[in-house]
Every structure is written in C-alpha cells, then in structure tokens.
C-alpha cells in the first residue's frame, strides 16, 4: 500500500532494465587516436589508479575529441575507486561537489596549473531504480557508501552519487560520443553505445530515450546545443530523435537552479563557439526562454558591438588565451548601461553618480541576485566605470589608470568600442601607446593630448538616449563627462596604430592578462 503510494508519487515504475549496451573494445588500428594528443598528467592519473588495483580510463569529452583528432581542452578520468580512495593516492587531490562528488587532482601552480577531474563510476538510476536500490537488502555496502541519491517527482536527478559498474556509468552519460573510455596503456577504447560509429557518421545521439533523459536533467538541452555548435564545423548533426523533443523539453529548465543555468550559459559563450551556439539556438527553435540573460545575448548577437565581442571571445579561446565572463557580459549589457546613463545625464545628473546608478539599475534588471558572483559583478562595474575615465588624458589620471589591475580589461573594452566606431579609434590608439610607453614618452603623450584638447572648440552636446539597433554603435564620446573636452580627438591627427609588444597584448576578454 505504502509502496504503491510512493510509486505513484514518484511516477511510473521502470519499464524494465534500461539498455546498458554491449561492451566493445576497439583497438588503436580502428579508432586511430594519436597518443601525442593525450595529456601526460591524465596518463599519470590513470597509471597511478591502475597500479593501485583500480580500473581507470580517460573518459567523456576528451575521448570524443581525441577520436575526432581535436586536442581536448581538459581531461576527465573515470574509475571504480571511490573519491576517498582516489584522494588517498595523490598528494594534491580535493574532493569537491555535492550533487556530483568528484576529485580534482592538481598539477603545477599558478597560471600553468592543471586539474584532472576524477569521477567514480556512477550507477544508472531513474527514479524507480533509485527506490529499488534503497529497498534492496543486497545493495552492497560499497554502493550505499556513496549513496546520496535523490530524484524529484518529475524524474529529475537531484543528486548523483551512487557508485556502480562501468556499463551503468556509460549509460547515464548524455551522448554516445561522450560515453567512451580510453585506456592510454593498452590504447583500447571501450564503447557501449556505438559511440565510435556515431562519431564516424557525425551524429550526436542521446543515449536511451531522449525525452526521459531531458526530464532527468534538463541541462542536457543546453548541452545538446553546445555540442551541436562545437561539432558543427566537422559536420556533426543532432540525430532527429535527439533534436525533436528539445523545444518541448525547454519548459523543464524552469526548475533548474539559476546558478547552474548561468554556468551552462557561460559554457555556451566561452568555450570558443559562441557564434555557432547562437546560430544553433536559432536553428533549433531555442532562441528564447532558456535563460533570461541568454535571451539578451541572442537578441543582441547581431548588433555590431556584441557581435564583435562574441567573435573576439571565440578567437581568443581558439588561440588558447584566457577569457573572462565579466568582460563578455559587460559587452552584452553595455547598451543598457549607456542608455540609462544618457538618460540621467540629460536630467543634468552628475556624470559619475549617474553612471553608478545606471549600472545598479542594470544589475537589478538583468543579473538579479549576484550573491556568490561578487567578483564578476565588481569586475563588470569596473570595466564600465573606466570608460569615461579614458576620456581624461591629462594630469596624473592616465598614470593611475594604467596601474589599475583591471586596466587591460577596461582598455580591451574601449578598443572594442573603437572597432565599432563608438569612440574615435585615436583614443584607443593613444591608450595603447601610453600603456606600453616609458615614463618620458608618457609625459609627451599627455602633452600631445593636452595640445589637442586646447585646439578643439568646446562644444558640449546634450546626450540623447539611443534607441534600436543603432544603440550599440551610437557615439557616446561627445556625451561623456569630459571636463577637459578632449573626448574625440580630431581624425587628422590619427596616429599610426602599433601592435603591442609580446604577442598577447591587447584583445577582448583578457581577464587577468594585465601587465
Ligand atoms: P567539453 O569538451 O566541453 O568539456 P565534455 O563532454 O567533456 O565537453 P563535461 O561537461 O566536461 O563535457 O562533462 C564530461 C562528461 O561527463 C561528458 O562527456 C558526459 O559523458 C558526462 N556528462 C556531463 N554532464 C552530463 C549530464 N548533464 N548528463 C549526462 N552526462 C553528463
Ligand atoms: Mg570536459
């Protein structure tokens, strides 16, 4: 009776055992993975685990990328060792996560440090199976040890820490091409769901019943978009049964915690395929309604400024340079900040408080609760607040500006504004020269700026809030609170644009790349 009630509460009982596939071992002669693309430290983690008597493999996206001849951006390892057992084998290893407990094995330090994520094989549990495991006296102690499993009434997996055999671990992964295991010692790929074949056919296929899999974890909807975008250049397509339920499943995202959606949005935008992801969102009928801030990004992706920011982010990731979410989001929301600011200036508010207020308003309206994202918000604010200061090229202001830790990000933002003719290109050039010059040259540059300013008639226009598509490209330079009136340097004085020294000088989204 009670059991019946619980079953009713949790949804329909399992319609038999899910298909765990058949273990196939694929040799190097067939998969053709280039061992040179395999990260040494991942190999080391696998070897250490195997020597301690555990099973261990490189798994997931890394195997997919290796198969496709791409260099994986990171390496995950899967093992039958528990997180505690893994931790015990490495000097610098940390158990992290609650919903999904894994171990981070850390190598190297500072910017060069690398993390290998090690996860324990998970049991495949839909909600009926979860109840069975809990009620089953024969469930091993080892299995229960890691057990913190929970499924809500809609079948959504809330926590996923029940250890299980490898075939179940494979089955609970999302796409067939993401569910393969590579043993770097024997060079064998273990495949349960025809991942190798799908990779050859350029097909992205969800394991199992896609509708149920989206229900279990709606974030898989966003992952489908991301992989479709990432692999679109190689000609990959979502298999039709995988693609078809996406639009209807979108409503399930309402129950996903905002922080997880935010993180997934960033993965869409910051893993080198932002423009392709936006194209996929539109193509798949998901342009709206995944996450409010993502709606804004899609809406503005065709405006010159946001498009430039997205393209620059993709370029940087492609070149292996760091990107910052604060920079990209500052670009996406700049039109709002600028409009709010212009409105306040038109009311004759003081420029700086007006900008502060406009920024506060944008945070309230667009970002909502930024708790836990304090640094992100602070960095965005700083990038925006620096913009009017770039107009001040006299006295000691510029010297202080270049010393700011966020100068590089603020400057990159200015450069992007110049690229879309929102400010004069000579202003960005001036700052580029100034930031790279020695002290004597800097003094000269300030003198020059002063001379230009004196030569210029003092006109101050009343700013008008910009509207529509033209917003992102509307010049704000003339509306800026420039006490020196040197906002827009005359075009004829355009200086030669010099590439900054040292290769990775200036580029959008260069978090922490200052100096
Ligand atoms: P990327 O190259 O972008 O890192 P990835 O495939 O490695 O892609 P991760 O988010 O790093 O993606 O996840 C690693 C692996 O874990 C995936 O390949 C997949 O097998 C599994 N996985 C991750 N998230 C999910 C999920 N929500 N549902 C099912 N399996 C998942
Ligand atoms: Mg990965």
The model's pLDDT over 15-30, given as tens digits with 9 standing for 90+, comes to: 456 889 999 999 999 9
Tell me what pLDDT residue 139 has.
52
Measured distance CA(129)–CA(19) in Å, rounded: 13
- 316 within domain boundaries: no
Same domain flag for 258 and 370: no
Last residue of a domain, one of 170, 201, 232: 201
Same domain flag for 133 and 221: no
Query: Rounded mean pLDDT of 214-239?
Result: 97
Same domain flag for 482 and 453: yes
Same domain flag for 88 and 212: no
Ligand 2 center to 297 CA (angstroms): 24
Ligand 1: atom nearest CA of 76 is: 14
So which residues are the catalytic ones?
A: 74, 76, 174
Among 145-154, 224-233, 443-452, 488-497, the range scoring the smallest mean pLDDT is: 488-497
Neighbours of ion ligand 2 (CB under 5 A): 61, 74
- In sequence order, what DSSP letters do the residues of 178-209 get, joined into one string? GSEEEETTTTEEEESSSHHHHHHHTEE-BSS-
Ligand 1 center to 61 CA (angstroms): 6
Give 279: exposed, middle or buried? Use CB within 10 Å, 0-12, 13-18, 19+. Answer: middle
Query: Rounded mean pLDDT of 65-76?
Result: 95
Hey, whose CA ends up nearest to atom 21 of ligand 1?
173
Q: Which residue do the tokens 């509307």 mark? A: 474
Ligand 2 center to 48 CA (angstroms): 21
* CATH number of the domain where residue 378 is located: 1.10.3090.10
Hey, whose CA ends up nearest to atom 7 of ligand 1?
61
Task: Residue 80: name the closest of 43, 53, 41, 111 by CA.
Answer: 53
Mutate to test the pocket of ligand 1, among 61, 191, 231 (most ligand atoms within 8 A of CB): 61
Same domain flag for 194 and 330: no
Task: List pLDDT tens digits, range 390-416.
Answer: 998 988 999 999 999 999 999 999 999
Among 53-57, 258-262, 436-440, 502-506, the range scoring the smallest mean pLDDT is: 502-506
**Domain with 457 in it:** 325-513
Q: How many domains does the chain have?
A: 3
Counting ligands in written order, the one closest to the CA of 207 is 1
Q: What values do phi and psi take at 170, rounded to 5?
A: -65, -40
Among 321-325, 422-426, 488-492, the range scoring the smallest mean pLDDT is: 488-492
- 110 within domain boundaries: yes
Counting ligands in written order, the one closest to the CA of 215 is 1
Hey, whose CA ends up nearest to atom 10 of ligand 1?
61
Among 13-17, 106-110, 179-183, 275-279, the range scoring the smallest mean pLDDT is: 13-17
**Mean pLDDT, rounded, of the chain:** 84
Q: What is the DSSP letter of 468?
A: G
Last residue of a domain, one of 302, 334, 369: 302
Ligand 2 center to 62 CA (angstroms): 6
Same domain flag for 270 and 413: no
The pTM assigned to this predicted structure is 0.82
pLDDT tier at 384, thresholds 50, 70, 90: very high
∠ CA 428-432-436, rounded to 5° = 170
Choose the most confident range, by mean pLDDT, from 36-40, 108-112, 448-452, 496-500: 36-40
* pLDDT of residue 510 exceeding 60: no
Tell me what pLDDT residue 58 has.
98
- 81 within domain boundaries: yes
Query: At 19, is the secondary structure helix, strand, or coil?
Result: coil
- In sequence order, what DSSP letters do the residues of 222-285 get, joined into one string? HHHHHHHHHTGGGT-EE-HHHHTTHHHHGGGGGGS-HHHHHHHHHHHHHSS-HHHHHHHHHHTT
pLDDT tier at 162, thresholds 50, 70, 90: confident
pLDDT tier at 158, thresholds 50, 70, 90: low
Share of the chain above pLDDT 90, in %: 70
Which residues does ligand 1 sit against, CB inside 6 Å?
A: 60-61, 73-74, 76, 173-174, 178-179, 217, 219-220, 223, 271
Ligand 2 center to 466 CA (angstroms): 42
- 311 within domain boundaries: no
Same domain flag for 147 and 242: no
Tell me what pLDDT residue 454 has.
84
Tell me what pLDDT residue 112 has.
82
Same domain flag for 8 and 32: yes
Hey, whose CA ends up nearest to atom 3 of ligand 1?
61
* pLDDT of residue 136 exceeding 60: no
Tell me what pLDDT residue 54 has.
98
Mutate to test the pocket of ligand 1, among 60, 206, 207 (most ligand atoms within 8 A of CB): 60
* pLDDT of residue 6 exceeding 70: no
Q: Which residue do the tokens 């879309």 mark? A: 420
∠ CA 180-186-187, rounded to 5° = 50
Contacts of 237 (CB under 8 A, 6+ apart): 202, 203, 204, 228
- 332 within domain boundaries: yes
Query: Rounded mean pLDDT of 234-261?
Result: 96
Same domain flag for 168 and 214: no
Contacts of 141 (CB under 8 A, 6+ apart): none
Ligand 2 center to 458 CA (angstroms): 56
Ligand 1: atom nearest CA of 62 is: 7
Tell me what pLDDT residue 496 has.
39
Share of the chain above pLDDT 70, in %: 78
* pLDDT of residue 207 exceeding 90: yes
* CATH number of the domain where residue 12 is located: 3.30.460.10
Counting ligands in written order, the one closest to the CA of 102 is 1
Tell me what pLDDT residue 291 has.
95
């Amino acid at each position: 009776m009670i059991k019946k009630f619980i079953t009713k509460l949790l949804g329909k009982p399992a319609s038999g055992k899910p298909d765990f596939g058949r273990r196939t071992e694929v040799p190097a002669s067939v998969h053709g993975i280039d061992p040179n693309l395999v990260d040494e430290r991942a190999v080391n983690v696998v070897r250490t685990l195997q020597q301690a008597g555990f099973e261990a493999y490189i798994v997931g996206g890394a195997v997919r990328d290796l198969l496709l001849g791409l260099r994986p951006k990171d390496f995950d390892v899967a093992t039958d060792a528990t997180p505690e057992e893994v931790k015990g084998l490495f000097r610098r290893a940390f158990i992290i996560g609650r919903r999904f407990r894994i171990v981070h094995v850390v190598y190297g330090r500072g910017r060069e440090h690398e993390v290998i994520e090690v996860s324990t094989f998970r049991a495949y549990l839909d909600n009926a199976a979860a109840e069975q495991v809990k009620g089953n006296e024969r469930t091993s102690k080892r299995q229960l040890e890691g057990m913190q499993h929970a499924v809500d009434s809609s079948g959504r997996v809330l926590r996923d820490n029940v250890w299980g055999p490898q075939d179940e671990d494979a089955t609970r992964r999302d796409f067939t091409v993401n569910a393969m295991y590579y043993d770097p010692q024997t060079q064998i790929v273990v495949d349960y769901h025809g991942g190798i074949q799908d990779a050859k056919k350029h097909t992205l296929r969800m394991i199992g019943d896609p509708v149920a899999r989206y229900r279990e974890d709606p974030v898989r909807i966003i992952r489908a978009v991301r992989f479709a975008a990432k692999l679109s250049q190689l000609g990959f397509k979502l298999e039709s049964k995988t693609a078809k339920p996406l639009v209807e499943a979108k409503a399930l995202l309402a129950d996903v915690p905002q922080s997880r959606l935010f993180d997934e949005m960033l993965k869409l935008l910051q893993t080198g395929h932002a423009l392709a992801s936006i194209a996929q969102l539109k193509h798949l009928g998901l342009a709206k309604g995944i996450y409010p801030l993502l709606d804004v990004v899609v809406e503005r992706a065709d405006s010159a400024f946001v498009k430039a920011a997205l393209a620059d982010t993709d370029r940087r990731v492609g070149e292996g340079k760091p990107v910052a979410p604060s920079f990209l989001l500052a670009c996406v929301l700049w039109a709002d900040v600028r409009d709010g600011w212009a409105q306040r200036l038109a009311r004759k508010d003081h420029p700086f408080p007006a900008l502060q207020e406009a920024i506060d308003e944008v945070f309230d309206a667009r970002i909502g609760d930024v708790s836990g994202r304090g640094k992100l918000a602070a960095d965005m604010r700083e990038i925006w607040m620096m913009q009017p200061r770039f107009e001040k090229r006299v006295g000691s202001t510029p010297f202080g500006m270049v010393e700011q830790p966020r100068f590089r990000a603020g400057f990159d933002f200015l450069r992007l504004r110049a690229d879309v003719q929102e400010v004069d290109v000579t202003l960005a050039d001036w700052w580029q020269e100034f930031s790279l010059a020695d002290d004597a040259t800097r003094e000269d540059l300030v003198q020059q700026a002063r001379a230009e300013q004196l030569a210029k008639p003092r006109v101050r226009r009343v700013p008008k809030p910009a509207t529509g598509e033209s917003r992102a490209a509307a010049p704000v330079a003339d509306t800026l609170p420039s006490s020196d009136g040197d906002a827009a340097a005359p075009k004829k004085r355009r200086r030669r644009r010099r590439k900054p020294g040292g290769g990775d000088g200036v580029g959008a989204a260069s978090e922490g790349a200052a100096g």
